[in-house]
Every structure is written in C-alpha cells, then in structure tokens.
Amino acid sequence: MHIDSYFSLSNSDLDSAEFIIFGIPYDGTQSFKPGSRFAPNAIREASWNLESYSLFRNLDLSLVKVFDAGNVNTDGSFTQILERASEFLSKLKGFPIAIGGEHTISCSCMEFVRKKNACYLVFDAHFDLRDEFDDNPFNHACTVRRIFEKVGKVVQFGIRSGIAEERRFAEGNGIEVFYSWDILDDPKKKISELIRVLDQFDRIYVSLDMDSFDPAFAPGVSTPEPFGIHPIHFMKIISEISDRIIGFDLVEVVPDGNKVTQTLAAKLIVELISSIGSNI
C-alpha cells in the first residue's frame, strides 16, 4: 500500500481545489496529555488506509477536488501563529479543513463565524468557557469563551465536563448546550432538537474536538472524558447540515500507538468531504 506525507484524497492544486486541508500543529497549552502537534501528519498517514469512495454517501471522492496545503508554521507566540493561520484562511477560495493541534486553533476561524447569520457549532466533552486557565486567556480551556465574545452565536454538543461557573455562563448567555447523557438517552430526539436550533442559521462553522467521542472510540486525545457520544451521531448531524457548513476544524488528537484515533479522525474528514461534496 502506498503511503505519502499528504492526505490521501489530495488530487488538486490550491487555486482549483473545492476543499483545502491544512494542519496547525500547535499544542502549547495542553494541560493533561500533550502531543496533538503530531496529529496532522498522523491523520494524513492514517488516511491512506481508507478508500476514496464513500459508501455512506455513494460518492467517488476522486471526483472531488481536494488539496493538502501542508502545515501552518507554528514557530513563535500563539498570537503570531493565529495571525498566520487567519491570513492563510482569508486567501482561500475553497472550503477550509483545519487539523489541529489543540482547540485554541479554532480561534483562527472567527472571521468565518462573523459572517451574517452564522454560528459556531462545537462538538466537545468540555465547555471550554473559562475566562482563563493557568493564567492564560488563550488556553485550550478558554477557546469557546473567546469565540463567543467575538461572535455571540455558539451551540455545544456532547458536553459532559466543566465547572459550575462555565455552566452558569452558558445558561446566562443563551448558549445552547446538548449534554452527552441526554444524547445517549435518546439520540434521535436530541439530534432533531439540535437541527431545529441550527435551522435559524444560514451558515455553520463546525469544530470537532475528538474528546467529544467516548474514549472507547477515540482513546488518543489530550483530555479523555468517559460517557461520550458516538461518531455516528456526528455523521448524522453533518448529513443534515452539510449544505450550510462554511468551515471545519478537527482538534485534540494525540496519536495513539494502535492508530485508532487518528484513523477515526481521517475517516470523519473523508465523510465530511463526501457529505459536502455531494452538494457541489
């Protein structure tokens, strides 16, 4: 089997691509298991184990134009990294797919979510609504707080961990939160409720923290949390909203020795492309 250093679906160039994959290998604030800076390349490697045909969508992905642009330079301060990533995003013509790195890399998406009638939909085990953590307002535990302050339209799915202050902040500021125990109790009902909430938005930016999934599915993450949602829940939601998604990032993978988590991450990127690509 051929394995190369770029994502296996890459078949186009930057200017012609409908989808542009790029890595942001930064994990400067991870507080439990570091190593997500190695995820972009590990996910690329895992992608070569996957077919370029989606059974789920009945789509031959060789017909979709995809370009892997490599990794953003993560030397220097987080502010410098953010500026580089944001500048790169601002020049793209195709659909952006960012591979982290830790969840702070989502802050580069803010211009997308500032678009008229757009929201930030985040799949995560944690609120990430702290004002600061370890004396840093741009810690991975503060990402959603920073994005909410800038765009004000946030929906969270899969939450099952946080502190009372974060819960009060979400409830007091109208952030829609879907808790994992409610989702697992009645997935069909909760997914339908989520779709109704999202129906008010014309554009949706999607952020997937891989710890939103139960560790049985994704053991290789920075901050694993039991009682998580299933990958199929994510797949079903993406299918419902694929015509309105304007950008995507996948974060917090810490590559595991059995390549379980990075393979799941690669598969979800493939299926996201197939869902959106079927609308093009």
Q: For 12-70, how does the pLDDT look when each residue is reduced to its tens digit (9 = 90+)?
A: 999 999 999 999 999 999 889 999 999 999 999 999 999 999 999 999 999 999 999 99
Mean predicted confidence (pLDDT) in 156-176 = 97
In the structure encoding, which two tokens stand for residue 229, read together?
A: 């949602």
Which neighbouring-strand residues pair with 136? Answer: 133
d(CA 262, CA 52): 17
In 22-154, which residue ranges form alpha helices assigned H by DSSP? 39-47, 78-90, 110-113, 143-151
Annotated binding site: 103, 124, 126, 128, 209, 211
Nearest CA among 67, 61, 65, 62 for reference residue 20:
67
State whether residue 276 is helix, strand or coil: helix
Q: Are 204 and 246 in contact (CB under 8 A)?
A: yes
Mean pLDDT of the chain: 95
**Percent of the chain beyond pLDDT 70?**
100
Using an 8 Å Cβ cutoff, are 219 and 208 in contact? no
* Section 256-275 average pLDDT: 97
CA neighbours closer than 13 Å in the CB half-sphere of residue 100? 34
In the predicted model, is pLDDT for residue 119 greater than 80? Answer: yes
Q: Is 64 within 8 Å of 17 (Cβ atoms)?
A: no
Mean pLDDT to the nearest integer, 146-162: 95
The Cα–Cα gap between 196 and 139 comes to 31
Whether the model clears a pTM of 0.95, i.e. scores above it, the answer is: yes
Q: Is the pLDDT of residue 199 over 90?
A: yes
Q: Residue 31: its pLDDT value, please?
A: 85
CATH node for 19-277: 3.40.800.10
Residues that constitute the known binding site for Mn(2+): 103, 124, 126, 128, 209, 211
Tell me what pLDDT residue 167 has: 98
